[in-house]
Structure 1
Amino acid sequence: MVQATASVLYVNSARGRVQGTGTRQAPFKTLTQALGQATAGTTVQLEAGIYGSGESFPLTVPSGVTVVGLGGTVTIRGGGLLATTDVGQQSVTLQLKDRAQLRNVTITNPQSQGIGIWLDQGAALLTQCRFTSCGRDGVFVTGDALPVLLDNEFSGNQASGLFMARRSKGEVRQNRFVRTSYGIAISDQAAPLIIDNDVIENRAGIVLSRATRPVLRQNRVRRNQTSGLWVQETAQPDLGQSQDLGSNQFQENGQWDVRNDSRHSIVSAGNQINPNRVTGSIRYVASELPDPVAVPALLLGRVKPEPAPAQPKTPTPPPLNLNSRFGDVVGHWAAPFIDAMAEADLIKGFFDGSFRPDVLVTRAQFAALVMATFPATGGNSRRFKPFRDVPSGFWARPVIYQAQAQGFIAGFPDGTFRPNDPMTRGQALVALINGLRLGEGQASELGVYDDRAQVPPYAVEEVAIATRRGIVVNYPDIAQLRPMQPITRSETTALVYQCLVNLGRMQPLVSPFIVRPSSSTRSSGTVSAAKATVVHAWTDDFWQPLMAQNLLAASRVQQPDVPMTRAQFASLVIAAFDPESQRYPVAFRDVPSSHWAANAIHRAYRAKFLSGFPDYTFAPEQPILKIQVLLALVSGLQLRVKGTAGVLTRYQDQDQVPRYAMGAIATATKLGLVFNYPTLDTLAPNQVATCGEVAAMVYQGLVLRKRMPPVVSPYRVVISES
């Protein structure tokens, strides 16, 4: 085993000397000299300058040695032949051994077929470096290497910014790949984690070949000349699973956003992919992430100050006329919609007098219905795109092409229409909104749906428009959109009828299953206002001490009776507890460095008070829920207590606490962190927390840390010791 020694060797290409000793007063002139003496634990500091002349390329950084460039102007330029086991001699600038590190250095190998960095073993680290203008690859990873590439820039390399092969793995995080032939190329059995990178303006963004199986998460792959993601041979990228979303963005690429030339279908979950910009087989999978609190209404923008009462699982039929001309529709929830459409001669039943309301609708049948309801005006000039699976004699051929021309419906990237496949509820909403051009929407409109995380990224705006315009009809649970489920004849009829209401061609119907977000928002806001007027008094004893210590001012908190945002909460806990870091940082896409609370948000994340959402956002301006405050305090303060069994039974609404949160909420309760106003036995975990309520809970956290005196409150839950 190599004995590690902590030392620093200094190198200065301008004033260093060949006879130098590597001290600050007598630095080496070349990096070659320093690496010849460096052992595990040594740090080599490079002063600003170009390191090329006098260097013996390829340079090798020994195990456990760190090379650091001081400032942003350290360049290592050159290359030499390296004998490799797998691919013969290669022109390489720098080779890193296990646990070696390279920081804040620019690497250029201008030789033909020149490689900047060669990694074939161990867990090296490359961070804040620039790999530019190499004759072939910026970084070449092979063998069993497990490197970490963090916050680097790859630009202007002739073949690829990063090439990974053989059985290499490791992590590629928060890098930028620009203006290179292939931004990232991965081959053989390599299986790295590629996360939170920008791959922009290359000839091709990410290119996968042979049997590689990389995991791609939160990457932004945009404006590449040919393809954003190009999959070849037997490569199988992981673009997300139903409970682990990909959250990649493939957009604005020249020919295809995703090009699948492999032998397998790609599975995609939670990515931003336009199906019309895909070639090859791709299967879209719905999200199954739990959503009540861990990913609350904040994810898509809407938080209600008080949750609406839960919808019944088997709702009582509404008090309206459910008679019908169709025998199998009498008493059906959709009877009013079906009969109104039949009265207008827009739908018909079957020869036996039935309508078959619960039969699934195919894509061809959907096209026929929308064309019967919204005939062409003759003014559309969209190009005709033939479908190879719609033969000339197919019964719905004319209406399929008519629906395509009017923008209601499109085919698949492989040139098929799949007329006999079931139409999904989400597809139906997208088709109706696009075909009728009903305006714009915001993702926040989706906050009324418990399963909003299942809405495909490409459908978010259309579903939002449909929600705002009252087009969505959900039976039996109005809060369940079920966008990935096949749509039935009755559901299709109801959606089309609501579109006609929007166009002024039909009279509105009364139905408890029409989603009306505007009314629920108004009612919940009224409840919030009523509560806020009385919160101030009971929180005074906690509010004033925090004000006296300037903890609230630092968090931009001014009034106790208004909701507290996630950014304000992060600032408050950092000011109050000054916690130490417990995990590595993550860059949130919606928290720029200029944000007033950026530092506090990142510190709160690293201290495990708060986390972000699956799409790498933090939602800093969204209100925080009471349950999230309690979870944050238990996690960030690392609170532990024994004997919590049965503690939650004291709450009348204990069933509103998700299973994963029960232990933490029981801990918070037993330690006296919970305040319930006005009813002591009602936890209301999913209620938006006001600044006053949060102040009380944070104050009690300071009491536990023995930094504040206890305050008696009739609204603090106290568990007596038996």
Structure 2
Amino acid sequence: MKYWGSHISLAKNFRLLSSSHLRYTLRVGAGLTAILVVSSGSILLPNEVNADTTHPENIAPTHTAQAPATAAAIYVNPATGADRAGAGATSAAPYKSISFALSQAQTGAVIQLAPGNYNQESGETFPLLLKPGVTLRGDEASKGQAILITGGGFYTSRTFARQDITILAEQDTTITGVTVTNPNSRGTAVWVESTNPIIKNSTFTNSVREGVFVTGTGNPKIESNIFVQNKGNGISTVRAAQGEIRNNLFQDTGFGLSINGTSTPLVVENQIVQNQDGVYISESAKPVLRKNVIQNNKRDGVIVIGSAVPDLGTSENPGGNLIRNNTRYDVNNANKTSQILAVGNDIDQKKIFGSVNFVAATVDVPPGGPVAFKDVPANYWAKTYIEALASQNIIAGFPDGSFKPNEPVTRAQFATIVTKALKPPTKRAAIQFKDVASNFWAYAAIQSAYQSQFVSGYPDGTFKPQQQIPRVQALVALANGLGLTASNQNVVSFYTDAAQIPNYAIAPVAAATARQLVINYPTAKQLNPNREATRAEVAAFVYQALVNAGRAQPIPSSYLVTAQ
């Protein structure tokens, strides 16, 4: 495909607008210009933009329905259930298949799924036709990790003829807490056609085409899901589709989002990373993008073709998107007839291609210089550790520009951070944990961390990926994975709460202490071994592990434990 345009280059001149504003003119091919406004020497950080101020007249409203509090529950369990009269009313006597439960469901019913595999072998008939007003619910907390719906069947679309789909989402339906895969040729997991479902807290993975397809005048709310390793797209919108796509993860797929036709979805606060292209926008689509993180994609962050004109921010309503570190271009406008206006985003100017009017809005830089995350101030105790790892893409913040340093870390998240940071070699054979499915988002990282002896499972064969990791487990993991030992285990007596260290952890904690992996805030002598580790603490521990491995420079800190 031939792309039109040229790289941005700085103009030779700028002119003074006022005592506190400078206007730089950037040349963008064919005589087009991009304006960069700088106020008081500072640049707008995306976390300062409020996406909620998007003008309502520019976005179609999303009308979605929730299951009523008094909705009747229908229970399904593929292992213990039976598709017969009298079943389904309790979890002790459930139906066996979703298909049978749907045949019995009335408007307002909630079909509650037990963990298990729902497929043709277990009695399912695809596609699953989710009746109007019905909720399909699994385990929202794990995003459906153990509730696997796999399969597909033919459905005749009013706008796209025959399709192979797993679930058809009708009006006022809800899909939540499930994992859905369509492994068939050109298979789609969920089909939305001129309806308004809520699709949330679920995982869409390994479908041959996409996770969710929205067509007609579809107006769904798609929120807090994981779209990973789908061969085509995470979400496709076509025709006059609208709706809201918020706070989802799109990773390791073809196009994270493919937005086509005349569709106008609101795309806000999503993580769109490590795909072939982040957001592909074509035909006459006019999506609104606000406060998304679009980075580390293998080709382009945002690519625009046809006569599409995305809204990446205006002076009245800045975009607040972080679009950086994509391999070819951060924004690639291959549309030869329209210019893209992109106000108030964090974009590498050298990676803008085509006709783009790039305007960076401004905020005051706080004393002490700019910070990478809005909730990590200049004097925060772990600021340097957090920013050092973030600069290497080992850890990341959230779409709203925050890092949430005091939030706990799960075992799955810890395994992912360790694997990214230390790239550990294999020391033992893989193991299949019974609570970590092969399509779980952190499966590969957990396997890598296990094989390198950074983490282990539990005696019952589980890994407990969603369990929050205590500080002592994090230190034991790093010491074991790095092969650290201590000649003097009495070094742990430095801690005033040493008696709280579990017996199994004394030797590795001693090693971590002697090799200066331990950072204790606010009191260096207090280990708090059994308290949940925070995101900031894990960042500090992992950074010190890199220092120990000779891959990072030491950072002075009064909270670093130097006892020997």
Name the one with the larger strand percent.
2
SS at match of 1:244: coil
SS of alignment partner, residue 254 of structure 1? coil
Kindly provide the amino acid, as one letter, of the partner of residue 34 in structure 1: A
| d(CA) in 2 for partners of 1:7, 1:148 | 23
- Name the CA distance, whole Å, in 1 between partners of 2:339 and 2:356: 5
Partner in structure 2 of residue 686 of structure 1: none
Tell me whether 1:40 sits opposite 2:114 in the alignment: no
Query: How large is the Cα RMSD of the aligned pairs?
Result: 2.2
Structure 1 counterpart SS, 2:195? coil
Candidates 83, 88, 97, aligned match of 1:22: 88
Structure 1 residue 273: Cα displacement: 1.1
CA distance in 2, matches of 1:201, 1:237: 21
Map 1:19-168 to 2 at 5 A.
19=84, 21-24=87-90, 25-52=92-119, 53=121, 54-70=123-139, 72-168=145-241
1:276 equivalent in alignment to 2:343? no
Tell me how far apart the structure 2 counterparts of residues 247 and 286 of structure 1 sit (CA, whole Å). Answer: 10
| 4+ long deviations beyond 4 Å | none
The answer to whether residue 107 in structure 2 is matched with residue 6 in structure 1 is no
**Aligned with 1:240: secondary structure?**
coil
CA deviation vs aligned residue, 1:78-111 (integer Å, no higher than 9, x gap) = 0000011121110000011111001110000000
Q: Secondary structure at the match of 1:245?
A: coil
Aligned partner of 2:288 in structure 1 is: 215
The answer to whether the 8 Å contact 2:291/2:319 transfers is yes
Say whether the 8 Å CA contact 2:268–2:292 is kept in structure 1.
yes
SS of structure 2 residue aligned to 1:34: helix
- Cα distance in 2 for partners of 1:105, 1:226 equals 30
1:121 Cα deviation (Å)? 2.1
Q: Give the alignment of 1:481-500 within 5 angstroms.
A: none
Within 1, Cα distance between the matches of 2:83 and 2:407? 49
CA separation in 2, counterparts of 1:228 and 1:39? 44
Point out the structure with the larger helix share: 1
2: CA distance, partners of 1:166 / 1:79:
23
Of all paired residues, the percent bearing the same amino acid is: 33
Matched, 1:592 2:519: no
Tell which has more relative contact order, 1 or 2 (C-alpha 8 A, sep 6+): 2
In 2, are the aligned partners of 1:63 and 1:99 still within 8 Å (CA)?
A: yes
CA distance in 2: counterparts of 1:190 and 1:237, whole angstroms: 10
Identify if the C-alpha distance between structure 1 residues 163 and 243 changes in structure 2 by more than 3 Å, giving closer, same or farther: same
Flag the structure with larger Rg: 1
Instruction: Give me the whole-angstrom Cα distance separating, in 2, the residues matched to 1:443 and 1:242.
Output: 22
Q: Please say if 1:443 is aligned against 2:370.
A: yes
* Structure 1 residue aligned with 2:10: none
Change in CA separation of 1:595 and 1:22 when aligned onto 2, cut-off 3 Å: closer
For residues 247 and 158 of structure 2, what CA distance do their matches in structure 1 show?
31
For 1:38 and 1:227, locate their aligned partners in 2 and report how far apart those are by CA, in whole Å: 45
Task: Summarize the Cα distance change of 1:131–1:81 in structure 2 as closer, same or farther, 3 Å threshold.
Answer: same
The code of the aligned residue for 1:58 comes to P
Query: How big is the shift at 1:264?
Result: 0.8
Q: 1:591 to 1:181 in 2, by over 3 A?
A: closer
Q: Deviations over 1:117-140 (max 9, x none)?
A: 000122101111111000111110
Following the alignment from structure 2 to structure 1, what is the Cα–Cα distance between the partners of residues 78 and 399?
Answer: 35
Partner of 1:203: 276
1:40 Cα shift? 1.6
Q: Please state how far the C-alpha of 1:198 moved relative to its aligned partner.
A: 0.6
How far off its partner does 1:284 sit? 2.1
Paired with 1:227 and 1:132, the residues of 2 have a C-alpha distance of 22
| Aligned 8 A contact 2:267 2:290 in 1 | yes
Per-residue deviation, 1:26: 1.6
**Residues 364-393 of structure 1 deviation map (CA, whole Å, 9 limit, x = unaligned):** xxxxxxxxxxxxxxxxxxxxxxxxxxxxxx
- Counterpart position of 1:368: none
Q: Distance in 1 between matches of 2:71 and 2:227?
A: 31
Shift of 1:589: 3.4
Shift, 1:595, TM fit: 4.8
Cα distance between partner residues in 2 of 1:135 and 1:277: 31
Cα distance change of structure 1 residues 238 and 588 upon mapping to structure 2, 3 Å threshold: closer
Unpaired stretches in structure 2, ≥5 consecutive residues:
1-66, 372-397, 409-564
Q: What CA distance in whole angstroms lies between the structure 2 residues aligned with 1:189 and 1:159?
A: 20
Kept after mapping to 2: 8 A contact 1:151/1:174: yes
- How many correspondences in the alignment? 307
Q: TM-score, normalised by structure 2?
A: 0.52
By how many angstroms is 1:191 displaced?
0.1
Q: Within 1, Cα distance between the matches of 2:99 and 2:206?
A: 22
Range with bigger deviation, 49-58 or 15-24: 15-24
Structure 1: distance between partners of 2:258 and 2:266: 13
Residue identity in the other structure for 1:11: V
1:301 Cα deviation from its structure 2 partner? 2.2
Contact 1:175/1:197, CA 8 A, preserved across alignment: yes
Distance 2:279 2:399 in 1: 21
TM-score w.r.t. length of structure 1: 0.41
Distance in 1 (CA, whole Å) between partners of 2:213 and 2:231 is: 13
Change (3 A) 1:214 1:588: closer
Mapped partners of 1:170, 1:202: distance in 2: 23
Query: 1:238, 1:119 → 2: CA distance?
Result: 24
Distance 1:257 1:285 in 2: 15
What is the match of residue 251 of structure 2? 178
CA displacement at 1:275 relative to structure 2? 1.6
Q: CA deviation at 1:159?
A: 1.0
1:224-243 aligned within 5 A: 224-243=297-316
Cα separation, 2, equivalents of 1:258 and 1:588 = 20
SS in 1 for 2:347: coil
| Equivalent-residue separation in structure 2 for 1:595 and 1:158 (angstroms) | 33
Aligned-pair distance for 1:39?
1.6
Structure 1 SS opposite 2:346: coil
In 2 relative to 1, CA 587–65 (structure 1 residues): closer, same or farther, beyond 3 Å?
A: farther
Matches within 5 A, 1:472-483: none
> Is the 2:293–2:399 contact (alpha carbons within 8 Å) kept by the matching residues of 1?
no
